């Protein structure tokens, strides 16, 4: 992705606008996830999502982004990220990651969820749950850490400690800053590294998005130029939220409750913007 070198720090009023975008996005993802049923095409999910944004007066930041043709990414089974909605009809036992974004008055939000279709496979449920839990631990590290690199350390440490078959953390695709553009500096790694990144301070807004796989982390891009798949054909999961650091603490802009419930489980208290 094309990212700026400077970190864009936001005022409280700008973060409030991003919160508007995040709430619309959350509602649109709610509807798209609810529509992800056996017999429904991925194009239909895109239509549902786009309709919610249009009704709310928001626009999609995915549609037309470097030529991307839809309002969401729909990545099914071994597709990791950037899947293009189309004629594929969801089957019983599929797993799908739905990734979308919304723009309100020039300010962006970005979020993704993974859902099982029909009768879930236990190994897929575990994959999605661990990915989501890893995301929340990364968000908690944003609240308690000193540097952006602390997020990746928290995600990596959690995933590495999970009991059972090991899960791989993709390193080629990472989180990012967000604000007046969907993708900005800094990169938000999902793995432990010696690179600390910028210091965490008020005005920093990040999209935290771990992507985990059941097998190897090697990926390839399909001929459509977008869809990223695992080379070994094993399944993948993506979870993502847009999170802001402000003077009072952190607030998850793309979660209806600001992240209060899940972060409380980790001993972190969120700070509403109002």
The rounded Cα 103 to chain-centroid distance in angstroms is 15
3-state helix, strand and coil shares in percent for the chain, rounded to the nearest 5: 30, 25, 45
**Residue of 84, 99, 43, 93 lying closest to 211 (CA atoms):** 99
**Residue of 75, 150, 69, 139 lying closest to 112 (CA atoms):** 75
- 110 carries a ligand binding annotation: yes
- 195 carries a ligand binding annotation: no
**Secondary structure (DSSP) of 111-126:** EEEEEE-SS--HHHHH
Residues 210/131, Cβ–Cβ less than 8 Å:
yes
DSSP for residue 130: H
- 78 carries a ligand binding annotation: no
- 240 carries a ligand binding annotation: yes
Enter the tokens of residue 20: 């508007």
- 265 carries a ligand binding annotation: no
Residues 118/190, Cβ–Cβ less than 8 Å:
no
Start-to-end CA distance of the chain, whole Å, equals 33
- 172 carries a ligand binding annotation: no
**Residue of 112, 124, 114, 115 lying closest to 215 (CA atoms):** 124
- 82 carries a ligand binding annotation: yes
Annotated binding site: 82, 99, 110, 176, 183, 209, 240
* Binding site as annotated, residues for substrate: 82, 183
Residues flagged as binding site for a divalent metal cation: 99, 110, 176, 209, 240
């Amino acid at each position: 992705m094309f990212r700026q070198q400077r970190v864009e720090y936001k005022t409280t009023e700008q973060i409030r606008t991003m919160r508007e975008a995040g709430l619309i996005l959350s509602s649109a993802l709610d509807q798209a996830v609810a529509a992800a049923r056996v017999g429904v095409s991925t194009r239909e999910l895109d239509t549902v999502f786009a309709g919610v944004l249009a009704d709310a007066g928001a626009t999609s930041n995915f549609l037309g982004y470097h030529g991307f043709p839809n309002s969401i990414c729909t990545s099914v089974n071994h597709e990791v990220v950037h899947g293009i909605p189309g004629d594929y009809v969801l089957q019983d036992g599929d797993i799908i990651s739905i990734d979308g974004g919304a723009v309100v008055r020039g300010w962006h939000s970005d979020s993704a969820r993974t859902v099982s279709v029909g009768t879930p496979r236990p190994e897929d449920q575990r994959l999605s749950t661990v990915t989501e839990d890893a995301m929340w631990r990364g968000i908690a590290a944003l609240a308690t850490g000193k540097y952006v690199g602390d997020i990746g350390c928290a995600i990596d440490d959690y995933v590495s400690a999970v009991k059972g078959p090991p899960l791989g953390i993709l390193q080629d695709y990472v989180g990012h800053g967000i604000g007046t553009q969907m993708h900005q500096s800094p990169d938000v790694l999902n793995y432990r590294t010696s690179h600390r990144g910028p210091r965490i301070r008020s005005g920093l807004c990040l999209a935290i998005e771990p992507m985990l796989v059941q097998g190897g982390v090697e990926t390839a891009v399909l001929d459509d130029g977008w869809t990223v798949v695992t080379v070994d054909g094993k399944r993948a999961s993506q979870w993502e939220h847009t999170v802001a650091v402000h003077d009072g603490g952190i607030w998850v802009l793309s979660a209806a409750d600001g992240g209060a419930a899940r972060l409380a489980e980790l001993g972190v208290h969120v700070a509403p913007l109002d």
